Amino acid sequence: MTVKELERHIRDVPDFPKKGILFKDITPLLADGQAFRATIGHLSDRAGARRPDVIVAIESRGFIFGSAVATALGIGFVPVRKPGKLPRRSRRVTYALEYGTDSLEMHEDAVPPGARVLIVDDLLATGGTAGAAAELVLQGGAEVVGCAFVIELAFLGGRARLSPLAVDALIAYD
């Protein structure tokens, strides 16, 4: 299944989570076994070219794609979570949102210094969440070799915010 064909499995939901937002719903893609497998295949092919040692994925939908890509590549998976969800000593990064701030955490020992890390999430919007995940990785002395997304909302400028990191998205909406 081509990337173009995968777009048919993304459903638009108007006015969610609030009026004026057009939400890109990935649940039809996840529910179709062939589409989900093709998505993981495309992400894994692109990710493998970056030669990561570990996949870092962002809560919660990023876990779906990140763990599958890590499995396909035979490498480790590290979750980045909302505050208070990890049981051991963690690093925290707070980042700006359109309407305030949020924070992400990762175990301090989750990624060894010098490791090559690919950050995976379902959606790139403004880049704040992926940027915070990258900061967590860099704080531990690892290298971010890029970021991979299923969907990019290009009109929100997240790619530019993540510069100079390499950014790859399967489906982009301008």
Q: Which residues are catalytic?
A: 61, 98
Alpha carbon 114 to its chain centroid, in Å, reads 21
Which long-range contacts does 137-141 make (Cβ < 8 Å, 24+ apart)? Answer: 137/56, 137/106, 137/111, 139/91, 139/93, 140/91, 140/106, 140/108, 140/110, 140/111, 140/112, 140/113, 141/113, 141/114
- Judge contact between 145 and 165, C-beta under 8 A: no
| Helix, strand, or coil (residue 29) | helix
Task: Name residue, tokens 């048919």.
Answer: 8
Are 120 and 137 a contacting pair, CB within 8 Å?
no
| Relative orientation angle of helices 61-73 and 33-48, to the nearest 10 degrees | 60
